[in-house]
């Protein structure tokens, strides 16, 4: 989640491309820690990261033995992700493509689809996207959704809007509406992690973690 407040009817593609193009680097390049903590217990296969940004998670999956793919709406973010994969010698295992997930489709099959903080202050039909792409997961594969469970304590009240509703883990699993389609819940919980606030002080964040397995 960025520090932006509600931005109205701004087109998602333009919003995110401006966000990435306006800075030399937006994210740290490191994997989202909660995502890694869950995924490290899974058998490597083919993975797809939704809203991959500059590819930190995709590259971690490639290093961990996955054939990793990512999709993001920002061409600038995707270019940086692919350049970094080439720089570290993982271009054969890590590939990102620029596309709008609202319309993007693929015939590829996956063992894991991840959505790490796939939340936005501009239009994002998140649940529809997650449901649609969950159909590309093979039997025995997983859907992993890691989300902000609440605003960081340092975000002012006037910016606490526009990112969509924060769902509790059980609400997230219910909203996906997959359990009647042969899926089971393996994890649905809130995890706390220690971070450094923008002013340098220690802080904690709560992450919603949902891991579903396709039967």
Taking only the tens place, the pLDDT of each residue in 121-176 is 888 999 999 999 999 999 999 999 999 988 888 888 777 765 556 889 999 999 99
**How many Cβ atoms are within 10 Å of 133's Cβ, its own excluded?**
20
- Selection from 55, 45, 51 nearest residue 15 by Cα: 51
| Beta strand residue intervals within the chain, DSSP E | 46-50, 67-72, 94-98, 110-116, 137-148, 183-196, 202-214
Rounded Cα distance between 151 and 159, Å, is 9
Q: What is the pLDDT of residue 3?
A: 37
- pLDDT tens across 32-79, in order? 999 999 999 999 999 999 999 999 999 999 999 999 999 999 999 999
CB 141 within 8 A of CB 213: yes
Q: Which of 40, 69, 41 minimizes the C-alpha distance to 55? A: 69
Neighbouring CB atoms inside 10 A of 39's CB total 24
Q: pTM, whole model, 2 decimals?
A: 0.90
Q: How many Å apart are CA 59 and CA 93, to the nearest integer?
A: 8
Q: Residue 7's pLDDT band (boundaries 50, 70, 90)?
A: low
According to the model, what pLDDT value does residue 65 have? 98
pLDDT bucket at 8, cuts 50 / 70 / 90: low
Assign residue 200 a region (left: φ > 0; alpha: ψ between -120 and 50; beta: otherwise).
Answer: left
pLDDT in tens, 98-114: 999 999 999 999 999 99
8 Å CB contact between 2 and 19: yes
Which pair of tokens denotes residue 205? 């964040």
Q: E strands along 8-151, which residues?
A: 46-50, 67-72, 94-98, 110-116, 137-148
């Amino acid at each position: 989640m960025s520090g932006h407040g509600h931005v109205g009817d701004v087109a998602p593609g333009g919003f995110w491309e401006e966000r990435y193009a306006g800075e030399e680097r937006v994210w740290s390049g490191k994997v989202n820690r909660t995502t890694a903590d869950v995924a490290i217990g899974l058998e490597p296969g083919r993975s797809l990261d939704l809203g991959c940004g500059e590819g930190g998670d995709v590259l971690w999956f490639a290093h961990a033995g996955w054939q990793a793919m990512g999709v993001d709406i920002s061409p600038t973010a995707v270019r940086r992700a692919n350049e970094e994969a080439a720089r570290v010698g993982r271009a054969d295992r890590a590939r990102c493509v620029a596309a709008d997930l609202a319309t993007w489709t693929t015939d590829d099959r996956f063992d894991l689809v991840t959505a790490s903080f796939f939340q936005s202050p501009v239009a994002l039909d998140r649940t529809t996207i997650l449901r649609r792409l969950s159909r590309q997961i093979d039997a025995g594969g997983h859907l992993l959704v890691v989300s902000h469970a609440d605003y960081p304590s340092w975000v002012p009240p006037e910016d606490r809007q526009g990112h969509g509703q924060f769902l509790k883990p059980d609400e997230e699993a219910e909203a996906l509406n997959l359990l009647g389609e042969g899926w089971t819940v393996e994890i649905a919980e809130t995890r706390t992690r220690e971070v450094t606030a923008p002013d340098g002080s220690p802080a904690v964040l709560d992450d919603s973690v949902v891991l579903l397995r396709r039967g």
